[in-house]
Amino acid sequence: MGIAKINALDSESIITRISGDSAVSKQIASLEKQIDSFQTSLADKKSDLGVLVSKQLDSDGQQMAEKLTSEISELRADLLETRVKLYGLMLGV
């Protein structure tokens, strides 16, 4: 993706779109969907963990909290990796 300055009399007449290879456009759309999915899952797991730790935890609750913490960590790593791929495609790296 390049950067350009555009001069136009009517700014409403300017339409932006990803140009070039349609396969890259499809990859970008797919990665954006994955990022949305990861963010939704991450928010849900954080919420679940917040509810769980607001209670007095027994051994089962502690195990569940550890599991949720591990899943949150994995989701963050997946989210970061997917963003790197997306930005790489967008910048043509």
Helix (H) or strand (E) holding 29, with range, is helix 22-53
pTM score, two decimals? Answer: 0.70
pLDDT value for 58: 86
Q: What is the pLDDT of residues 31-61, one digit of tens each?
A: 999 999 999 999 999 999 999 888 888 888 8
Q: Would you place residue 9 in the very low, low, confident or very high pLDDT band (cuts 50, 70, 90)?
A: confident
Inter-CA distances, 54 with 12, 42, 61, Å: 50, 18, 11
Average pLDDT over every residue of 71-84 = 96
* pLDDT exceeds cutoff 90 at 16: no
Q: Are 26 and 33 in contact (CB under 8 A)?
A: no
Q: Which of 93, 81, 86 is nearest to 25 (CA)?
A: 86
